Structure 1
């Protein structure tokens, strides 16, 4: 069975061989750019305008000329701005020159941005750039799996909505290996294009455009590339434009479908569309000639509106361009049927859009042109354009061919009255969106990518688990969620990857994680408290530089294997965690000098636990502080409240005064006695004054 990418390559051959003819630049669309976008004024006009604005001392006549010039510029610019607003009703669009180093404006007025929003990769240049008329087709970005990983993405920030996405893929022997690479392309986590070497000629040298419509819900339009074997995926340009959310019958089909273009044909005209001709299309669609897909055995006649306006074009929600309905084809024979053979893949549904306009002035009443539409030989409807909308008015009709079992898809317009007529035909594969990783787990994995400093070579880009046809991120294992509506991460094995970050708290969002192995890295920081998920059964964080204590939450999980050896952890080990080894599990805490509190480790200090005060220490300090405060309050109460106002009167009482008087009298009598004894000693011998040897007579007056 041919792949989607192979059919798209075939459909693109006519497109990429188209050489645009030189015409006046088209009005540029509104783009996100770091530089403002201006109309393509001539340098002389801009220079003269600058001079007019720079002369402060100009005369009144000069100022009049300046005002006239400004008015002229405003009138010249106004149609451009209005046309841009009308042609781009939603205003969110990007044109990215992959591998390009500078912004530029394309041949038909479209501004292109230098390369950005990519995850990794390298810049390249086609081998023969002179063969490509458009600048964005000459450069490319390629993703070597050895240095960039097997999965790389462009993640473009956009508001939620419905988008048209177009890519240009080219090889042109840019690496001198004469080997076009094999790789897959996904959009929003769903495989849409497959490239397999060798590419069909002449696509390796000319390149191919591919496009689709998709709904973006998370604010990032992800276009991802997955390497097959050692081949580096390539991309030359990426275009994204927001479209009407109701376009292409999305209210009926739902938002969980991607419409992949399998053929967008214009009948009776050559290729046209923004970026390739001066024509505009609000959805950036490019329409190619139907000649390659029409049955060549049927002779046809081209019709034209002759410049007459066709009503009902460029209307919401699909905004089909007026140019599509100004041409048409019909058969030369009244009994001949128009037939198209469209390449498709089996087992998919296809949405066919038919575009009609009765631009033959000879058909001026209902019933003059009637034909049946047969799809794979099944008559699905009868068309009378004039009866439906009248003459020179666009008429659109679509049909879904379900679960095709054969290829190609046959479309016939069989005449009933008159000759069949058609202006355009679109064929879209209705590719169901693949299951994606649950949003909370995507956020957790992106946070882990930052905190663990995952290297580019591991290819952690886009959705961690989707597409389901690819491998998940390196080291990641995913399964379906319990309700089968999404994918969840169940295992992380990143041992010996040279990681040097830390484990973020967002790991707690991985509520289905069963096994986590981050051993033999250089991780630092504390163990997050959310590491004790109820689903976690195996945890290996050995041989890192983790510090701090072990959170109590780890003791409440269903862990059966815990390896925390050879880290810098400290503090008391939770009893419930250590009981894993008692109940048949395996736990290894060796090589952590600060851990304590379990039989195989030292006892923890009474007042110290997990690098901080223990609960007992905090209680003891609290009690001591309480006792001190009580004692302080008691002292204040005794000395400041209970004492009366006489407690501070220190005057001597009557008894104390009497004792003092007696003592003074005794001292005077003692002095008189010593004086008398001295006068009675004629030799002047010293008299011992020791009161103990000769106590004075206390009765002497």
Structure 2
């Protein structure tokens, strides 16, 4: 595993040096955040920088305080947040709400025996799911006692947040005192060719012939919020140096896009002392097997140089002569000039930056050295979303460390119970082993997005609810959901051709077992459905009801139910027809007498009818000339 050293040691005491308002205002409006880790309230520092109370952190950690706060002049350096792996898991993160873009990130790490264990912790730090910093115990004494600043430039490509994560080694608790993040120009530091694929980790950013300056430490502005460290700790002390300044003269060409290098950087410089043949050399600590982007900053601030050819020198990086510089020839006097070069695959732990005189004495205003750390492959976005949904539905405890990217960085298996492999479009989840974790949630159907899942073991928990259809992944080989509290029927999607083990025993499932699932056992696989009193329809289980299947009506039952409703509807229509439609104008009485069952009542009814008929005939005869009348005929 690649180990990156502690970077940019800036003693906290240096922050007391005076200086102006930070060009970045902390807040969501401009996607800039200054977080006082462990701090309980917002405040504004003596340099005008607004700091936010601790937020955006994953659960399981705790706030703390350095042992000797009086040694730390800035409030954000006194408080801290630590993440014990026993409660926070291997991985703990700050999820910063950042849209896609490039950002400058600065982290202040301090120990100062806050936990009274007299032992600095070992842990790693990632940004953009890429391992960028490593802290190993024991820390250098100045860093352990006063703290250390580390910074980098990283691309954020995920939404709605980007994670800065801390990975515990053994039982050590990662610790962080402050996090600062601010956007940078998308084309800065050769962003057109490297910005989307690299993290630039600062291995030294120095101002030559000057003292430390930058937002948060002095009132000198820097549009990227960079801090420039004094160069004295990086010089080859076997050589002599002289410092020179611009003497108040205006510097042209500084603070320009896309890098916005500050004017103050070019107002001072170092040159050689003593013999004119002396060289300037800086020894920059680096990590082997990485490539480095070196930026050199020049300005001809000596009024005695007024023409090309009066100051010429060679630049040697890692022992190789890479270019010849004539500042006045390039840009003239009192004008900023930048030059960059990439040193590839260093095999040494020290990068030598040497300026060798050709004509006159060499001069240098500033130096930057960035490790070019390739972005690591991330988890396929759809599977990240599925895992976050599972984290919520399964109620994953904080101690399991389900924070950040499920699979990256590859050096860490930070998500407990999760196994990943490299896929065609990114890292993919192939195994979830969460048995006996005390889970009490349910399985979301978002699990269907884990298209490469081979093994799922959720046994011996207290999971409830129904089994989602998304469990029927074609890739699934082993499924163990035994000893939970699942209810409902078994989805017909479960039982792919690859599934060899299906353990659903000791739940509360019911309904008919899908034939494709039961066929696993028939074809030599392992299936256990015992302990589910409601299951039916396969050998060793009770037969299902005639019209019942999979916890509901089967096809036959639905047909029978439909036929029954149709018959009832037909009967109702017939009755309505008889009562309403067939009733004629001469039908006066359809009401049956209450004493209809009485013989005497029937006889009386008949007698009344006969009398009524005789009266009617008599009346008809009275109106007929011959005494006869036939219906439809003529009198005769």
Calculate the TM-score normalised by the size of structure 1.
Answer: 0.81
What's 2:611 paired with? Answer: 660
What's 1:117 paired with? Answer: 56
Q: Distance in 2 between matches of 1:621 and 1:627?
A: 10
Residue 106 of structure 2 is aligned to residue 166 of structure 1: yes
CA 1:656/1:391 → structure 2, altered by over 3 Å: closer, same or farther?
farther
Q: Distance in 2 between matches of 1:618 and 1:442?
A: 41
Q: Tell me, which stretches of 5 or more residues in structure 2 are unaligned? A: 590-605, 616-636
Residue 390 of structure 2 is aligned to residue 433 of structure 1: no
Residue 209 of structure 2 is aligned to residue 258 of structure 1: no
Asked if structure 1 preserves the Cα contact closer than 8 Å seen for 2:18 and 2:217, the reply is no
Q: Distance in 1 between matches of 2:117 and 2:608?
A: 125
Q: Distance in 1 between matches of 2:542 and 2:548?
A: 13
What's 1:281 paired with? Answer: 222
Deviation per CA, 1:86-137: give whole Å up to 9, x if none. xxxx932111111111111112111111111111311111111111111111
Matches within 5 A, 1:308-323: 308-323=249-264
What's 1:442 paired with? Answer: 384
CA 1:616/1:335 → structure 2, altered by over 3 Å: closer, same or farther?
same
Residue 322 of structure 2 is aligned to residue 326 of structure 1: no
Which of the residues 286, 289, 299 maps onto 1:357?
299
Matches within 5 A, 1:500-519: 500-519=440-459
Matches within 5 A, 1:574-593: 574-593=514-533
Residue 94 of structure 2 is aligned to residue 94 of structure 1: no
Residue 336 of structure 2 is aligned to residue 385 of structure 1: no
User: How much has 1:222 moved relative to structure 2?
Assistant: 1.1
Deviation per CA, 1:64-103: give whole Å up to 9, x if none. xxxxxxxxxxxxxxxxxxxxxxxxxx93211111111111
What's 1:397 paired with? Answer: 339
What's 2:471 paired with? Answer: 531
What's 1:410 paired with? Answer: 352
What's 1:421 paired with? Answer: 363
Partner SS for 2:559: helix
Matches within 5 A, 1:261-272: 261-272=202-213
Which of the residues 32, 36, 39 maps onto 2:27?
32
What's 2:247 paired with? Answer: 306
Asked if structure 1 preserves the Cα contact closer than 8 Å seen for 2:23 and 2:223, the reply is no
What's 1:473 paired with? Answer: 415
- The runs of 4+ residues in structure 1 deviating greater than 4 Å are 630-641, 643-650, 655-659, 661-664
Partner SS for 2:339: strand
Larger mean CA deviation between 503-512 and 196-205 belongs to 196-205
Partner SS for 1:396: strand
Q: Distance in 2 between matches of 1:358 and 1:399?
A: 20
Q: Distance in 2 between matches of 1:572 and 1:439?
A: 36
Residue 173 of structure 2 is aligned to residue 232 of structure 1: yes
User: How much has 1:513 moved relative to structure 2?
Assistant: 0.6
Asked if structure 1 preserves the Cα contact closer than 8 Å seen for 2:24 and 2:182, the reply is no
Deviation per CA, 1:565-590: give whole Å up to 9, x if none. 11111111111111111110111111
Matches within 5 A, 1:41-56: none
What's 2:630 paired with? Answer: none
User: How much has 1:30 moved relative to structure 2?
Assistant: 1.8
Q: Tell me, which stretches of 5 or more residues in structure 1 are unaligned? A: 34-89, 665-701
Residue 183 of structure 2 is aligned to residue 242 of structure 1: yes
Q: Distance in 1 between matches of 2:5 and 2:464?
A: 45
Q: Distance in 2 between matches of 1:472 and 1:661?
A: 105
What's 1:670 paired with? Answer: none
CA 1:248/1:28 → structure 2, altered by over 3 Å: closer, same or farther?
closer
User: How much has 1:660 moved relative to structure 2?
Assistant: 3.2
CA 1:621/1:379 → structure 2, altered by over 3 Å: closer, same or farther?
same
Q: Distance in 2 between matches of 1:143 and 1:602?
A: 53
Partner SS for 1:342: strand
Asked if structure 2 preserves the Cα contact closer than 8 Å seen for 1:472 and 1:478, the reply is no
Asked if structure 2 preserves the Cα contact closer than 8 Å seen for 1:167 and 1:210, the reply is yes
Residue 152 of structure 2 is aligned to residue 201 of structure 1: no
Deviation per CA, 1:313-335: give whole Å up to 9, x if none. 11111111111011111123432
Residue 5 of structure 2 is aligned to residue 5 of structure 1: yes
Q: Distance in 1 between matches of 2:61 and 2:440?
A: 23
User: How much has 1:19 moved relative to structure 2?
Assistant: 4.8
What's 1:146 paired with? Answer: 86
CA 1:190/1:658 → structure 2, altered by over 3 Å: closer, same or farther?
closer
What's 2:311 paired with? Answer: 369
Asked if structure 1 preserves the Cα contact closer than 8 Å seen for 2:106 and 2:151, the reply is yes
Which of the residues 496, 509, 532 maps onto 2:436?
496
Q: Distance in 1 between matches of 2:131 and 2:241?
A: 38
Structure number with greater Rg is 1
Deviation per CA, 1:209-245: give whole Å up to 9, x if none. 0000000111322111111111111111111111111
CA 1:661/1:95 → structure 2, altered by over 3 Å: closer, same or farther?
closer
User: How much has 1:533 moved relative to structure 2?
Assistant: 0.3
Partner SS for 2:232: coil
CA 1:610/1:644 → structure 2, altered by over 3 Å: closer, same or farther?
closer
What's 2:400 paired with? Answer: 458
User: How much has 1:28 moved relative to structure 2?
Assistant: 6.2
Q: Distance in 2 between matches of 1:4 and 1:661?
A: 121
Deviation per CA, 1:622-644: give whole Å up to 9, x if none. 12223344455566667766x69
Q: Distance in 2 between matches of 1:367 and 1:645?
A: 127
**Aligned-pair RMSD on alpha carbons?**
2.3
Deviation per CA, 1:455-496: give whole Å up to 9, x if none. 111111111111111124111111111x2x521111111111
Q: Distance in 2 between matches of 1:101 and 1:510?
A: 39
Asked if structure 2 preserves the Cα contact closer than 8 Å seen for 1:270 and 1:288, the reply is yes
Partner SS for 1:173: coil
Partner SS for 2:193: helix
Q: Distance in 1 between matches of 2:223 and 2:11?
A: 19
What's 1:107 paired with? Answer: 46
Asked if structure 2 preserves the Cα contact closer than 8 Å seen for 1:351 and 1:399, the reply is yes
What's 2:281 paired with? Answer: 339
Q: Distance in 2 between matches of 1:578 and 1:19?
A: 70
Q: Distance in 2 between matches of 1:615 and 1:106?
A: 73
More helix per residue: 1 or 2? 1
CA 1:172/1:15 → structure 2, altered by over 3 Å: closer, same or farther?
closer
Asked if structure 1 preserves the Cα contact closer than 8 Å seen for 2:90 and 2:414, the reply is no
Partner SS for 2:452: coil
Q: Distance in 2 between matches of 1:420 and 1:554?
A: 74
Q: Distance in 1 between matches of 2:277 and 2:189?
A: 33
